Chain A
Amino acid sequence: MEVLLSIAIGVLTSCGVFLVLRSRTFPVLLGLTLLSYAVNLFLFASGRLRLDAPPLIRAGASYTDPLPQALVLTAIVIGFGMTAYLAILALRALSESGADHVDATKEP
């Protein structure tokens, strides 16, 4: 499981970085989404992986680490806020400059 998750994190990062470096706003948006998946998974993994041990207090149960979960939960929501803001920024830039280039220029 650890190896699989590491591969997932690596591939998500690679794809995210590549897309973030594109010149149009839309792939950048996609790339940031992928990158935030990767980062969330990475942060989550810092609490180590446990199966069937949700941090819900029950008699006689064992629990995974709840702290990274709490951090990642807010990170997911903030990530959504950031994506939304960036999307709207892209629209505004398109309206101001007439192009969807990240540098607000018409050249490629």
Chain B
Amino acid sequence: MNSSLLLAAIPATAFGAFLLPLLLQRFGRGAAALAATAVIGSCLMLVTQLAPAVLAGNTLLAHLPWLPAYGLNLSLRMDGLGLLFALLICGIGLLVVLYAFYYLSDSDRLGRFYSILLLFMAAMLGVVLSENLLLLLVFWEITSLSSFLLVAYNSDKYESRIGARMALAVTGGGGLALLAGILLLGHIAGSYELSLILAAGAQIRAHTLYAPMLILVLLGAFTKSAQFPFHFWLPNAMSAPTPVSAYLHSATMVKAGVFLLARLHPALGSTDLWFWLVSGTGALTLVYSASIALFRHDVKGLLAYSTISHLGLITLLFGLDTRLSIVAGVFHIINHAIFKASLFMAAGVIDHECGTRDMRRVNGMFRRMPITASLAIIAAGSMAGVPLLNGFLSKEMFFGETVGHPQFESLSWLLPVVATIAGMLAVAYSLRFVHDVFFNGEPIDLPRQPHEPPRWMRAPIELLVLLCLLVGVLPEWTVAPLLDAAAAAALQAPLPAFELALWHGFNKPLAMSLLALAGGVLIYALRGPLFAWQEQLPRMHPRTAFERAYRLLAASARTAVATVDNGSLQRYCALLFAFVLVLATWAFFSGPEATIRLAAQPAGEAAYIALFALLLGSIGATLLYRQRLLAVILVGVVGLVVALIFVRLSAPDLALTQLAVETGTIVLMLLVLYYLPTGKAPRSSASRLVRDLLLAIFAGGGLMLVSLRMLATPFETISGFYLQESVPGGGGTNVVNVILVDFRGFDTLGEITVLAIVALASHALLDRLTMTAPRLDADGRPWSEEAHPLFLSMLMRPLLPLTLTVSVYIFLRGHNVPGGGFVAGLITSVALMVQYLANGNAFAQPRLPLNAAGLLSLGLLLVSGVGMASWLFGRPFLTSAHGHFQLPLIGEIELASAMIFDLGVYLVVVTVVVTVLSGLGQLSARAHNQPVAN
């Protein structure tokens, strides 16, 4: 079969089927375990299908565009490094599934556990098989999230939740840094595809952004691989069930960081910065964690620190940056995964059998579980670097690389010394694990009677320990091809000459190994005084410190949110204005320099008088807003001046609309004012006044400057089309009206829909609302008993037909001279409104049996119907048609389909205004306990 199809099938299978165990859970534990085994087995089979081609030195690629414009593609890659990791992930995954089946109790929901584990495995496969770095990052984040779920598996326990949260915070934060780093890297290399990036190493290293990019990428790798000072999450994640620790915290997730180092090293490495950062961090982590591991009493804690230490060793090897050190690093990845997974599983068996993992109580297990003990002792030997075991081989290579590294010159003795000390410590803590747990007298006060675990629970450990031995004794026959392929892929260069063998003759590395073994035994022999010394050291509590920082962060976030989001509309408005001001100021001053040319229109005296009236009205209303009636009148004045401005500046349609709206607004405000409490509002505080005044002055001054600048900037209109086509295309000479009902009819349809929504919302708000009618006005005078003065009511009735006639006239002429549906609708509304005011609700309502819902729908249907009618003629939505017709008596008239459109607009406008006002009228009737006409 096509190899790229097979390659794509690996993550596809894993992601496609990860829910299977959860779905099959109701058929029992066995079904869930079988499902998980089947999924991982299929992935493993696919991987092995591809293995021969990869081992032969090929790099398989599969490419599927996803968001190519952003450089994100579903492109996959399998080279030696990917193959090695995929085999580790699937192989150890299978063993962990088997192991967890026995480890987790019957009450655990095994299906759920397996499903999360499979999700994690799928993401991990995605990480190691990604060709596109953005895709890699997506999978990277999924590993963080799914590992959070796995660590927090015992979610009823405080430690689990804290540990999971810490792991997520650290690795997730690192993921963010990695995101930034990868974006920079993509920017530098011009692509996110690994093939291109690996080939562009020289260009990347020479770029000015190399240093920040490298630091960000390393942050991502170091947090994931628990390097100092981000190591503290890993020991706390030991609250996870042991199968999870064996899988995530030895073989897979924590290796993602070092995988990234191996992967990107050809592009990012070979610089001083890389050398010092990576090898420095690695060396520090190696020694520091090894020394901590010795003093941990918890078996898993010891293993966790040992893991961190070994990850430090691998990091150090990648940092040393010689070709052989890369080979050693890759080799140690394999060996560590094998022996550490088996050690975690053995620790799980001990925990499972004894009910505790405290090495001060768990003693003498060799007699109670001899087989498990033998297996664990071999694995621990590998961890310590004892000959004949796989750990010895890679440790020898490591020692060899520390000797005479070119970068250190006169300090060349330092690195071998550090390596030997780390080796001694590794021997010491391995010895402690073996001696304390399996020998050292009798167990103390155990909750359970320990004995050998079930046969199949031990099987995974047996297999892994067998691998330790096979690789350790016969490396050339077992691991060599895979190592060669993986190291070649990590190097992206020819392999150096090296020989995997037990015996290289008596040389410096062997001497260092022997020294480490002897020194380790000595350190362990001195453990009594050492432990006593460690006891009196000041305690470091990274978890407490982390929690404190975490709480502080959360609390300050809450404070920040509470400051901004305090539920006060006033504050929101002020913040909004301030923000807009900042943005606008920035835009104003960063915009292009414009040639300013004040081609002024002559102003004339009338303009000055109008401006004076406008200033008087607006400033007066602002200063006197507590005298509400006066303020309303002043705002009315301003509205009228605005209408006059429209008249003067060649906008007759706007003037008409503004006049009609002004009338409606004033009536509306008076109606509302009637109910609002008359009590004087308390004065605002001085600071608030200053704030508001500043905002107001800056906003006004700013908009003034902006409009001045706009008016002084030459401009080219885009309206030529409308002016040209108005008569031939739209059949009307009033261009504004033709734009509204024809050219931009779709906009108008949207706008009248908004109006219709206003009507519905107002109706809903007013429905069954009862207000109390005040008895006195603001100045303490009683309101008139006579609600509808006779004079007014008699005068207004005959006016109705007259105003309606005017509105029909305005409507009909609208297509050619100022007028149209909006204005006519507003005039009709004002006519009806006046009837309500003059004669009262009880009079007007029955005489105007308006079905608001029906009329609204009719209006909207007319507008959209006339638009859809054009479909019948095979034209786009809202194509207009017009023609000339000869009518008897009246003569020739021009009819346009746009007129029907305008009729719809008219209906909606009238209905909206009447709905709002009659709603207010009914409110008034209820307030005065008058009979409400239905």
Residues of A within 8 A of B (CB): 1-15, 17-27, 29-30, 33-34, 37-38, 40-42, 44-58, 63-67, 69-70, 72-74, 76-85, 87-92, 94-95, 99-100, 102-103, 108
Contact A91 B692, beta carbon cutoff 8 Å: no
Query: What are 21 inter-chain pairs, A to B, with CB distance below 8 A?
Result: A4-B603, A5-B707, A9-B704, A14-B697, A15-B700, A17-B699, A24-B681, A25-B676, A38-B703, A44-B651, A46-B710, A55-B734, A63-B735, A64-B651, A66-B719, A74-B740, A76-B654, A77-B909, A89-B765, A91-B672, A94-B676
Question: Is B677 at the interface (CB under 8 A from chain A)?
Answer: yes
Contact B700 A49, beta carbon cutoff 8 Å: no
User: Which residue of chain A lies nearest to B683 when distances are taken between CB atoms in the complex?
Assistant: A108
Question: Is B748 at the interface (CB under 8 A from chain A)?
Answer: yes
Q: Which residues of A have CB within 8 Å of B826?
A: 77
Contact B657 A11, beta carbon cutoff 8 Å: no
Q: Mark B626-658, 1 if CB is under 8 A from A, else 0.
A: 001001100100110010011011111110011
Q: Which residues of B have CB within 8 Å of A4?
A: 603, 607-608, 611
A29 touches which of B669, B675, B684, B693 (Cβ 8 Å): B669
Closest chain B CB from A78 CB (angstroms): 6
Contact B625 A26, beta carbon cutoff 8 Å: yes
Q: Which residues of A have CB within 8 Å of B693?
A: 18
CB-CB under 8 A for A34 and B621, given A29-B672, A77-B826: yes
5 smallest CB-CB distances across A and B, nearest first, come from A10-B704, A14-B700, A18-B696, A55-B735, A57-B733
Stretch at the interface among B143-151, B305-313, B350-358, B563-571: B563-571
Closest chain A CB from B852 CB (angstroms): 14
Contact A90 B681, beta carbon cutoff 8 Å: no
Contact B739 A2, beta carbon cutoff 8 Å: no
Contact A34 B651, beta carbon cutoff 8 Å: no
Contact A7 B704, beta carbon cutoff 8 Å: yes
- The DSSP consensus for interface residues of chain B is helix
CB-CB under 8 A for A41 and B650, given A22-B625, A55-B723, A56-B734: no
Docked CA distance A12–B699 (Å): 10
CB-CB under 8 A for A85 and B758, given A5-B645, A57-B723: yes
Docked CA distance A89–B268 (Å): 62
Closest chain B CB from A59 CB (angstroms): 11
B696 touches which of A9, A21, A49, A55 (Cβ 8 Å): A21
Interface residues of B in 839-883 (CB under 8 A from A): none
Docked CA distance A38–B769 (Å): 33
CB-CB under 8 A for A95 and B769, given A4-B611, A14-B701, A53-B650: yes
Q: Which residues of B have CB within 8 Å of A18?
A: 622, 692-693, 695-696
Contact B665 A58, beta carbon cutoff 8 Å: no
Docked CA distance A92–B570 (Å): 19
Contact A56 B603, beta carbon cutoff 8 Å: no
Contact A41 B569, beta carbon cutoff 8 Å: no
Contact B739 A1, beta carbon cutoff 8 Å: no
Q: Which residues of B have CB within 8 Å of A44?
A: 646, 649, 651, 654
Contact B755 A77, beta carbon cutoff 8 Å: yes
Q: Mark B598-636, 1 if CB is under 8 A from A, else 0.
A: 101111000110010011001101100100100110010
CB-CB under 8 A for A57 and B727, given A4-B607, A34-B621: yes
Question: Is B476 at the interface (CB under 8 A from chain A)?
Answer: no
Question: Is B744 at the interface (CB under 8 A from chain A)?
Answer: yes
A54 touches which of B652, B664, B676 (Cβ 8 Å): B652
Q: Which residues of B have CB within 8 Å of A2?
A: 598, 600-601, 708, 711-712
Docked CA distance A105–B271 (Å): 65
Contact A30 B625, beta carbon cutoff 8 Å: yes
Number of residues of chain B lying within 8 A (CB) of chain A = 111
Question: Is B391 at the interface (CB under 8 A from chain A)?
Answer: no
By CB atoms of chain B within 10 A, which of A3, A17, A24, A29 has the most?
A17
Q: Which residues of A have CB within 8 Å of B657?
A: 73, 76-77
Docked CA distance A48–B622 (Å): 29
Contact A78 B754, beta carbon cutoff 8 Å: yes
Interface residues of B in 726-772 (CB under 8 A from A): 726-727, 733-736, 739-740, 744, 747-748, 751, 754-755, 758, 761-762, 765-766, 769-771
Question: Is B101 at the interface (CB under 8 A from chain A)?
Answer: no
Docked CA distance A45–B693 (Å): 26
By CB atoms of chain A within 10 A, which of B574, B621, B761, B826 has the most?
B621
CB-CB under 8 A for A13 and B699, given A4-B607, A56-B817: yes
Question: Is B923 at the interface (CB under 8 A from chain A)?
Answer: yes
User: Which residue of chain B lies nearest to A75 when distances are taken between CB atoms in the complex?
Assistant: B751
Contact A83 B649, beta carbon cutoff 8 Å: no
Closest chain B CB from A72 CB (angstroms): 6
Contact B600 A1, beta carbon cutoff 8 Å: yes
Q: Which residues of B have CB within 8 Å of A51?
A: 601-602, 648-650
Contact A12 B650, beta carbon cutoff 8 Å: no
Question: Is B919 at the interface (CB under 8 A from chain A)?
Answer: yes
Docked CA distance A85–B758 (Å): 6
Q: Which residues of A have CB within 8 Å of B671?
A: 87
Contact A26 B673, beta carbon cutoff 8 Å: yes
Closest chain B CB from A55 CB (angstroms): 4
CB-CB under 8 A for A103 and B600, given A10-B703, A41-B645, A57-B727: no
Question: Is B34 at the interface (CB under 8 A from chain A)?
Answer: no
Question: Is B717 at the interface (CB under 8 A from chain A)?
Answer: yes
CB-CB under 8 A for A55 and B736, given A12-B638, A45-B707, A103-B569: yes
Docked CA distance A37–B744 (Å): 23
Contact A1 B602, beta carbon cutoff 8 Å: yes
Docked CA distance A18–B622 (Å): 8
Question: Is B885 at the interface (CB under 8 A from chain A)?
Answer: no
Extra inter-chain contacts (5) besides given A47-B717, A66-B736, A91-B923, CB under 8 Å: A13-B696, A21-B570, A22-B625, A83-B665, A108-B681
Docked CA distance A95–B603 (Å): 49
Interface residues of B in 362-417 (CB under 8 A from A): none
Question: Is B183 at the interface (CB under 8 A from chain A)?
Answer: no
CB-CB under 8 A for A9 and B707, given A21-B696, A22-B625, A80-B664: yes
Q: Which residues of B have CB within 8 Å of A66?
A: 719, 722-723, 735-736, 739
Contact B736 A69, beta carbon cutoff 8 Å: yes
Contact B650 A88, beta carbon cutoff 8 Å: no
Question: Is B506 at the interface (CB under 8 A from chain A)?
Answer: no
Question: Is B791 at the interface (CB under 8 A from chain A)?
Answer: no
Closest chain A CB from B758 CB (angstroms): 4
Contact B625 A19, beta carbon cutoff 8 Å: yes
Q: Which residues of A have CB within 8 Å of B67?
A: none
Contact B722 A67, beta carbon cutoff 8 Å: yes
Question: Is B33 at the interface (CB under 8 A from chain A)?
Answer: no
CB-CB under 8 A for A73 and B822, given A18-B693, A42-B703: yes
Contact A20 B598, beta carbon cutoff 8 Å: no
CB-CB under 8 A for A49 and B649, given A77-B661, A91-B923: yes
By CB atoms of chain A within 10 A, which of B639, B651, B658, B695 has the most?
B651
Docked CA distance A90–B692 (Å): 22
Contact A11 B651, beta carbon cutoff 8 Å: no
Q: Mark B765-787, 1 if CB is under 8 A from A, else 0.
A: 11001110000000000000000
Contact A5 B711, beta carbon cutoff 8 Å: yes
Docked CA distance A99–B705 (Å): 39
Contact B601 A1, beta carbon cutoff 8 Å: yes
Closest chain A CB from B743 CB (angstroms): 8
Q: Which residues of A have CB within 8 Å of B668?
A: 83-84, 87
CB-CB under 8 A for A22 and B717, given A14-B699, A14-B701, A66-B723: no
User: Which residue of chain A lies nearest to B727 when distances are taken between CB atoms in the complex?
Assistant: A57
Contact B601 A37, beta carbon cutoff 8 Å: no
Docked CA distance A53–B652 (Å): 10
Q: Which residues of A have CB within 8 Å of B632?
A: 30
A70 touches which of B638, B639, B701, B744 (Cβ 8 Å): B744
Docked CA distance A56–B751 (Å): 24
Contact A91 B769, beta carbon cutoff 8 Å: yes
Contact B751 A6, beta carbon cutoff 8 Å: no
User: Which residue of chain A lies nearest to B666 when distances are taken between CB atoms in the complex?
Assistant: A33
Closest chain A CB from B693 CB (angstroms): 7
Contact B621 A30, beta carbon cutoff 8 Å: yes
By CB atoms of chain A within 10 A, which of B701, B707, B711 has the most?
B707
